[in-house]
Structures are given as C-alpha cells and as structure tokens.
Chains A and B, each alone.
Chain A
C-alpha cells in the first residue's frame, strides 16, 4: 500500500454514501444542539430506529411482493415508516424530558439509544431484527436496486468510481443531504429559527414573550431526529444492518463532525462530516503504511490501527482548545461568556 493509494482512498470518502449518511445525522444533531441547545447524545439511536424500521418494513411487509406495489412506492413507504418510527421515538424521549433542564435530555437520550441497540440485539427478537447478527443487506435492497435507472457497470472517475448500485445510493443520499441543508437554511433565517435560537440562549426569556417553548423544543427534537432516522436508512443501503454500528461510538463521531465543522452553521455539519471521514481514512492508511515499515515494533496491525482514534482524539482536543467554534463557526459568537 503506497502513499498515493492512501490519498486515493481518503479522497474517495468525500463522496461515499457513508459520509452522506453521517452528514445527514450531523445536520439533524445541529438542529438539536447547534440551534436549539438540546443535548442529544442519542443520535445513533435515531439512526438505529430509522435503519431497523426501514429494513424490517421492507422485509416483513414487502409491499412489492405482497401487494404488487411498484418498487419506488414501496421504497417511499419504507422511508415513511422510518420517519414515523423516529417521530414516535422523539415524542417518547421528549415528553418527559423537555420540561426539565437540558442535562436530563443528555442522560435520557444516551440511555435510550443503548436501550434500542440492546433491544434489537436480543436473541428473542432474532426472527425480526436478526439479533446480534443483524440483517442481511440483500433482504431489503431489492426495491432500491429495482428502482435504479443506471445500467452501466461503473460510474465516476479516479477515487470516485463506484458501481451502478453504489452510484445510485450516492445520488439518493447526497440529494437528501442537499434537501436537508436547504431546509435548515430556510428554517434558520425564519422567525421559527429565531425562536429556536432564543430558546438555546434562555428559554425562560422566550417563554415570557409568549412562545410555547415546550412545543418548539419538541418540534426541533422531532425534526433533527427524523434526519437522524433518514441517515440511518442511508447508512445501511451500502451495507448490512449491524446493531453494533449504532453504538455510542457512532454518536460521538457525529458530535466530533459537528464540532469540527462548526455548530449552528448551515454548512458546518457537511464540512465536518467530510473532513472527519477523510481524516479517519487517511490516518488509518498512514498508520497501516508505517506499520508495514515496522515502526510500531511488536504491535499487531489491528493494535496499530487503533492509534488513529488516538490521533482523532488529539485533533479534537486541539480543535476545542484553538478553535472552539469549529471551522465555519463565528468567532464573535464564542467570545462572550453566555
């Protein structure tokens, strides 16, 4: 593995559907944390909800086979099921916690996300969720594959070459990212966004001005959670459903991407997600290369591979110290002690 191929792989991450899925989840988290001040530490839970709802609906109900629906309709139905599941999950989380102080939401969300993961892992549910094995990709990719208008073998160039299926997934995932970004931009320039940002600063003040703070926080939680669920769907389209993909690590990757790009900015989550995956891939490749040269002594390859997370951690620390507002964040906003 030479240096050029490391760069090649890293550059490939820029357009990968996984990056798109993460960008979507990060945009959702940005609505929660960046704009509304909601400490959601369970974004992976929303992704899991979306992913499982989509996959299970497609496998169990399978309207294409049982009802003779066209595959695009089945796909949209499955997406809607994922959204409804995320809305219900957000309501269950929000109803008891949104009246309380922010920290409670953090505790409840991180626990709820783990509850979701352990539930789908349960052996008793293997018939539905696949237990700890998860679900096979081929069982739920039928509809989206049938919808694919691309007939060639590979598309793109250089590091961005992909198969027809992968290209199709990329088109869908990145389209969703663009829609989500436009949605956030439209909302945050509106009076709705002003109320949301006001709540982030001081909810009592906003309440004293006649705004239903609880209702707004719920709307924000549902909206960001829905984006998390869609991210979950996009995340499983290029792979299988693995319950352990939706562990707390995922949530913290999303937080890292958000802080890297800059919270409370429209494009920050996108930039952060791309940079995060490019850097993770690059450092991984670099460490692999150095390991091949024998630099890490007696360490095994997989041990050395873990070093990249040390590097990511260091990078995050440096970021928080030297540029706490993120790459796109407004320095002025953070210069106040609010």
Chain B
C-alpha cells in the first residue's frame, strides 16, 4: 500500500499492476463488495479480489482478519450482508453450500470434520458426486448403482493409496490421528473431482512428520490441474508452496503479491505487528507510567474520601496504568492460532 519498493509492480499472474484487489490474467473466482457483519462488527469487507486459476493461492492474515468467514461466505456456509462473487463465470452469491460444492468448489474445515463412525472407505465414497444410489428409491435397487459404486471404490482406493491411508481403509475414521484425519478430509474432497480446492488451515494440529507429505499433496493438486486456495498461519508453508498470497486484515484485503516479497510489504507488516510496532515506547513507559500511577493513586484517594465510610472499589482505577503497555504489545503473532 504505502511502500511497494520491494514488491515488483508486475507479475505474470497479474493483469496490470500488482496491489490489493488487482486483476488476474485468468481468474477462477472473482468477488466484489462482499460484506459480512455480525452485529456491529464488520468481519469481512472485501472490495474486490480475484483468485488465479491453476495456481496455489494463500490467504493469510492475523487472527480475526476474517479469512475463515470469507471462506464460509464463498462456499455458501454463511450468507453475506451484501456482495457478489462468481466461480468460473457463474454467480455463486447466495447459492446454498451443497450446490456450491457440486459446481466444483470443495472445501475442508479448520477443525477437521471426519465422519467418526463411518469407515475411512465410507468417508471417501461419500465424496463421490452424482451417485445414483443416493436417491431414496434407487437406493433400494442395488443393480442400479452397483457398477457406479464399484468404480467409486476403485477411485477411492487409488486416492487412499496416494495419501497413504490404504492400510486404514476399513477402520473407523474416529480411530485416525489428527494428521491422518486432515489427509482423509483432503482425499475425500478430491473424490468429488473439484476444480477449486479450498483448504482451511490444512497444517493446523498436524505433527511435523506429516507436514512435508501434506505439502507435497497440496502441490500435487496443482499438478493435477486444480486450483488451490488455502488459509494458513504457518509462513513456512505459505512461502514453500504458494504461488500467490492475499493478505487480509480487519476484514479487508490489504495486500497481494508473490510469496517471496509479500512479507516486506508495509501493509502486511502493519497488519501483523501493528502500525506502531517500531515506535520506541521505552521513554514513555519510564516517565509516564510513574505519572499515571501517581494520577491513579490520587484519584483513588479522592474516591475513598468521597465515599466516606464505604469502602471504595479500588479496581476501578487500576486498569489505567496498564493501558499503554497493552497498546505497545503486538496484537497477534502469526504463528498463534485460535482454537
């Protein structure tokens, strides 16, 4: 925004100049004026954003930036107060979530949603789309869906092998480890043959040993021609696999750029560390804190006097001295995660 000296002004993915809300050469998702308010809080207020097709795009930002809410809006799990967005040219605004998924835009969840009391294979088969046997009446006649089911099982087995879950095929999903559930959720999403895979914090709670294989799987999606959009806090992962990074803060898209340079963008630094993170507050704390303490004591004494016999409520005056310190602290760290 303010300082773009380190950010290249052009990029092969971008049509025109690089910047927040810039036009892409070949966008798969285009969103305009998407606003979601919760009471007085505006959680998402995205003026314009485009997701490049066939690439891995990371959506980053501090906690509470509205990344997951934006995800929910795009996939129909939440409804915006206003806004339009399209996926592969057709409008998806206010389309129910299951229809969004059928169009090829499939998501995973921050808190993994494996279906515990179904086996791993059943979890996978649930992902397959257009199943004849999913109609109430067709379900009664096995010959109608037997062949399709067999084909789906075969495809599920291939995916399970690719995600190294084939040994767990007949186990209940509830018996898998957290990382394996992430893998299962991703594999299940692939069963529906999506064109856009949206991963909400794919690395959250995954043990480091699995991280590399998960990263490879995400990169594999791109190699298979899919577009990936993911929310992530882990900057290593963002740098490692993404082709493009979109930064959100306080509901807005504040910066965009390639992963190599995005972290130098002034807007990103401000979003993560606060605009005044490099202002030296040392002198202020030494002198002024003492002064504030003094003022607070005086105020409390006055209050006690005014109350006379009653015991004054002391805590009322105490928060004041802490105020400058709280302001100085960085609000959130990117590694931290909300649970």
Enumerate chain A interface residues (CB-CB to B < 8 A): 183, 186-187, 189-195, 197-198, 200-202, 204-213, 219, 223, 332-333, 336-338
List chain B residues, Cβ under 8 A from A209: 98, 101, 106, 126-127, 129, 188-189, 191-192
Q: CA–CA, A247 to B200, complex, Å?
A: 47
Q: CA–CA, A80 to B298, complex, Å?
A: 84
Q: Which residues 93-143 of B have a CB within 8 angstroms of A?
A: 96-99, 101-102, 106-109, 113-118, 122-123, 125-127, 129, 131-136, 138-140, 142
Contact yes or no, A191 B133, CB < 8 A: yes
- In the complex, what residue of chain A is closest to B129 when comparing beta carbons? A210
CB contact under 8 A between A190 and B140, given known A201-B115, A211-B98, A336-B175: yes
List chain A residues, Cβ under 8 A from B138: 192
Interface-central residue, B97, B98, B135, by most chain A CB under 10 Å: B98
Q: Is B163's CB within 8 Å of the partner chain A?
A: no
Partner of B117, one of A189, A193, A197, A219: A197
Contact yes or no, B134 A192, CB < 8 A: yes
Q: CA–CA, A201 to B135, complex, Å?
A: 20
Q: Is B174's CB within 8 Å of the partner chain A?
A: yes
Question: Interface code B307-327, partner A: CB below 8 Å = 1, 0 otherwise?
Answer: 000000000000000000000
* B contact residues, range: 35 or more
- In the complex, what residue of chain A is closest to B140 when comparing beta carbons? A186
Contact yes or no, B101 A204, CB < 8 A: no
List chain B residues, Cβ under 8 A from A205: 109, 113-115, 185
Nearest 5 A-B pairs (CB), nearest first?
A336-B174, A338-B116, A192-B139, A191-B133, A210-B101
List chain A residues, Cβ under 8 A from B102: 210
- In the complex, what residue of chain A is closest to B103 when comparing beta carbons? A210
CB contact under 8 A between A204 and B113, given known A191-B131, A209-B192: yes
List chain B residues, Cβ under 8 A from A193: 139
Contact yes or no, B125 A190, CB < 8 A: no
Contact yes or no, A202 B101, CB < 8 A: no
List chain B residues, Cβ under 8 A from A187: 136, 139-140
- Write 7 A-B pairs (CB below 8 A) sorted by A numbering: A194-B125, A202-B115, A208-B101, A208-B109, A208-B113, A209-B189, A211-B126
Q: CA–CA, A333 to B77, complex, Å?
A: 29
- In the complex, what residue of chain B is closest to A219 when comparing beta carbons? B136
Q: Give, as a whole number of angstroms, the nearest-CB distance from B52 to chain A.
A: 23
Partner of A192, one of B77, B117, B135, B172: B135
Contact yes or no, B145 A190, CB < 8 A: yes
- In the complex, what residue of chain B is closest to A189 when comparing beta carbons? B142
Q: CA–CA, A190 to B113, complex, Å?
A: 22
Query: Knowing that A187-B136, A206-B126 are A-B contacts, what are 8 other residue pairs whose CB atoms are under 8 Å apart, sorted by A's residue number?
Result: A186-B142, A191-B145, A192-B139, A198-B126, A202-B115, A209-B106, A212-B96, A338-B117
CB contact under 8 A between A333 and B117, given known A194-B122, A209-B106: yes
Contact yes or no, B107 A208, CB < 8 A: yes
List chain B residues, Cβ under 8 A from A201: 115-118
List chain A residues, Cβ under 8 A from B106: 208-210
Q: Is B166's CB within 8 Å of the partner chain A?
A: no
List chain A residues, Cβ under 8 A from B98: 207, 209-213
Q: Is B149's CB within 8 Å of the partner chain A?
A: yes
Contact yes or no, B115 A208, CB < 8 A: no
Q: CA–CA, A213 to B176, complex, Å?
A: 25
Q: Is B75's CB within 8 Å of the partner chain A?
A: yes
List chain A residues, Cβ under 8 A from B174: 336-338
Q: CA–CA, A195 to B135, complex, Å?
A: 10
Q: Give, as a whole number of angstroms, the nearest-CB distance from A321 to chain B.
A: 21
Q: Give, as a whole number of angstroms, the nearest-CB distance from B102 to chain A.
A: 4
Contact yes or no, B139 A190, CB < 8 A: yes
